[in-house]
Amino acid sequence: MQFDTDSSTPDDVVARAAELRDEINRANRLYYVEDAPELDDAEWDGRMQELLALEAAHPEIQSPDSPTQRVGAPPSAGFDEVVHPIPMLSLGNVFDEDGFRAWYKRALDFLELESAPMVCELKIDGLALAITYRNGVMERAATRGDGERGEDVTANVRTIRSVPLKLEGNANDIPPVMELRGEVFLPNSKFATLNEEREEAGLPAYVNPRNSASGSLRQLDSTETAKRPLDMFFYALGYIEGAQEPSSHSEALEAIKGWGGRTNEWTRKANTVEEVMAAIANAGEVRDSLDYGIDGVVIKIDSLSLQRRLGFVGRDPRWAIAYKFPAEQAETTLKAIHVNVGRTGALTPWAELDPVVVGGVTVGRATLHNKDEIARKDFREGDRVVIQRAGDVIPQVVEVSAKNKRSDDSQPYAFPDNCPSCETPTVQTEDEAVTRCVNTTCPAQFERLLEHFASRVAMDIEGLGERVSQDLPRLGFVSSIADIYRLHERKDDLLELDKMGETRVDNLLKGIEASRSQPLPKLLFALGITGIGSESAEWLSRRFRSLSGVKDATEEELLAIDGIGPVVATTLVDYFAIEQNRQLIDDLIELGVNPIDDTPEPSADHPANGVTFVVTGRLETMSRSEAQNRIKSLGGKATGSVTGKTNFLVAGAEAGSKLDKANRLNVHVINETEFIAFMEESVVPSRPESPDSADA
């Protein structure tokens, strides 16, 4: 590590400080990462005190990788936002062998492979982090956040002793810039001790290790974080600059371990579904003996090149899946049944419970799913019921307990016939279990819509959370989404609201103003149209380019978009057939909330534009799906059937009947090499001369 020093600093001081840093960092790694301590406590303390004295006498020699930096820094006013260069996306879940087999088959089908080696890792119940190292020294640590943006918690992460401030090894072997990802957790044994100390100090006990870890990492005063015995496992290489990436995930883990990062020793490779299931079974067996919480096993395709080919679907990687353990259950009393009205009018019942601990979390309310589920399982107020956390996250009422004893006056629950918010009669169609309020001016629906509109995954309006989303409509400040962009005209009135204050109001108005620059897909998703998620919002944005374009789209135009089916197309047309919704779009445009999608169209000059392809057989360098996506990106059309209108058949190995049909119909057949040249170099394959024309 090179750093600037005062020219008057004695060379022996600089050298001794560097020696002490290396010795202490090495001792920390051996103790916290490799569980092989080299120095006893007295020796470690002696070196640390000597280094502290040297740095106090010569502040100019202090460096970012010094172990003295672990003691914490002065309190921060807040956390800076960090944009992740590569999003930290969520994982899809499966809960049994059939679900895992289906995921693995989808991945292999996409890749058109018979098998792909995998890596199994324990799913640590902690907090995900991304740590950037520059020239081997920690530069920044950020929380996962919403996957795209997190919080800068560098000062706090420096206090975690299992996290290297400086990576080990030859400088030539460490990439100039790289990001390592991992999970911060609080060991179970340390959690118990921490709670004992809090109780002795008269402070409330923490609920579970995960929440304690999250709260500890988000302390504005890192000296407080330093008092918490946090630990960390690294589980992935985020990105590398200036060096070659390993070829596989397992190689990346080995590299991280070689650099001094702590990886989980349980991790194992698997080549078959059977080997994965054996690993999952073992994880279940050792779960209770671990000093940290796990809620499943993460399975990843090992090859990084295959991971890149698989890519993502929505916000989930196709190359990884989480196998979740069965949910933990507990019994408690169902005190009362309540009904919420969602932003789409859905009436969702929930149970008010006697609080009970499930999987380390105190649960006081849980979902009851829908009207039919309550009737089918005959849930009643006062019942003793079994609850669980679905996927170890969402509490739900499972069934009436076998130990339940009902009083003589117990009555079946009567689901409301009218909306609890606006008293409009509810409806339930034959093809869905959801009971709905169809009043588009229903206050409860609008409050939920407003909260969704402002959420981080939508328009990301700071200060417009649940409480404010309820207060603004109820107090007459807004009656439509467009009204939030008029709130700056009523700043004085907002200042009169309870618990707002000038700072809160200013932050709210700044957040609203900043949201004007959100891209069109975010705005389309924020409108809360049933069936329009973040991915379909992207498709609509690319096709129609503006709010007006989407508003005026016909059902035929919508159905022409790959991924948009009849149900979503009809829903969209029906949504924009309602005058209030059309007026909302017009109001937003008039108020300047009118993002335009200027993503470049496929080049009209590319020879594939407007050309119809069929891809068949097994390709060597890509899957059929990848080939089809490439065709579409250049304006071509990829179909599944060979007809007289097909321009090119791309034939891989074992092409089969489609090749026979293409020959019968005189469709131009090309191989993979010709296809790649066509796509990447605009080289249009020439049709070989037939024997008859050659003889002529």
Mention every residue, 6+ apart, whose C-beta is less than 8 A from residue 196: none
Which amino acid is it at 12?
D
Where are the extended beta strands (E) located within 518-653? 612-616, 637-639, 648-651
Task: Identify the band that residue 694 occupies on the pLDDT scale cut at 50, 70 and 90.
Answer: very low
Distance, CA of 554 to CA of 541 (rounded, Å): 15
Question: Model confidence over 441-450: pLDDT tens digits?
Answer: 789 999 999 9
Q: What is the mean pLDDT of residues 572-585?
A: 90
| 87-100: average pLDDT | 88
Q: Does domain 93-323 have CATH number 1.10.1040.10?
A: no
Nearest 5 degrees, angle CA 388-CA 390-CA 391?
130
User: What three-state secondary structure class fits 385?
Assistant: strand
Q: What pLDDT does 204 receive?
A: 64
β-strand 93-94 against 320-324: which pairing, if any?
parallel
> Exposure string (b/e) for 409-441, b if CB count within 10 Å is 16 or more?
eeeebebeeebebeebebeeeeeeebbbbebee
Q: Kindly name the residue from 105, 123, 300, 499 that is annotated as catalytic.
A: 123
pLDDT at 691 over 50: no
Domain boundaries, the chain: 11-71, 93-323, 329-420, 443-515, 520-590, 612-695
Which one is predicted more confidently, 627 or 30? 627
329-420 and 520-590 share one fold = no
Exposed / middle / buried, residue 447 (Cβ in 10 Å: 0-12, 13-18, 19+): buried
Q: Is 570 exposed, middle or buried (0-12, 13-18, 19+ CB in 10 A)?
A: middle
CATH code given to domain 11-71: 1.10.287.610
**Choice between 69 and 479, residue whose per-residue pLDDT is larger:** 479
The rounded distance, in Å, linking the Cα atoms of 485 and 515 is: 10
Q: Cβ(243)–Cβ(136) under 8 Å?
A: no
pLDDT > 90? residue 681? no
- At CB < 8 A and 24+ separation, what contacts does 198-207 make? 207/360, 207/361, 207/362
| Domain 329-420 grouped into CATH 2.40.50.140 | yes
Tally of CB atoms within 10 A around 615: 26
Q: How confident is the model at residue 146 (pLDDT cuts 50, 70, 90)?
A: confident
Residue 548 pLDDT: 94
Which fold, 520-590?
Answer: DNA polymerase; domain 1 (1.10.150)
pLDDT band at 1 (very low <50, low <70, confident <90, very high): very low
Tens digit of pLDDT for each residue in 406-430? 998 999 999 999 999 999 888 886 6
Which has the minimum average pLDDT: 609-613, 677-681, 692-696?
Answer: 692-696
Is domain 443-515 classified as CATH 1.10.760.10?
A: no
The string of pLDDT tens digits covering residues 49-59 is 778 777 777 77
What is the bridge-based pairing of β-strands 346-358 and 361-367?
Answer: antiparallel
What is the mean predicted confidence (pLDDT) over 1-26? Answer: 70
**For 10-14, 146-150, 388-392, which range has the lowest pLDDT when averaged over its residues?**
388-392
CATH number (3.40.50.10190, 3.30.70.141, 3.40.50.300, 3.20.20.140) of 612-695 reads: 3.40.50.10190
**Residue found under tokens 């990301």:** 460
Tens digits of residue pLDDT in 449-505: 999 999 988 999 989 988 899 999 999 999 999 999 999 999 999 998 877 888 999
The mean pLDDT value of the chain amounts to 86
Question: Over 60: is that where the pLDDT of 648 sits?
Answer: yes
Cβ distance 217 to 230 under 8 Å? yes
Is 551 part of the annotated catalytic residue set?
no
Separation CA 555–CA 541 (nearest Å): 16
| pLDDT of 172 higher than 50 | yes
Of 177-181, 387-391, 636-640, the least confident: 387-391
* Mean pLDDT confidence for 173-202: 85
Half-sphere exposure of residue 600: CA atoms within 13 angstroms, side-chain side: 6
pLDDT at 35: 53
pLDDT-based confidence at residue 439 (cuts at 50, 70, 90)? confident
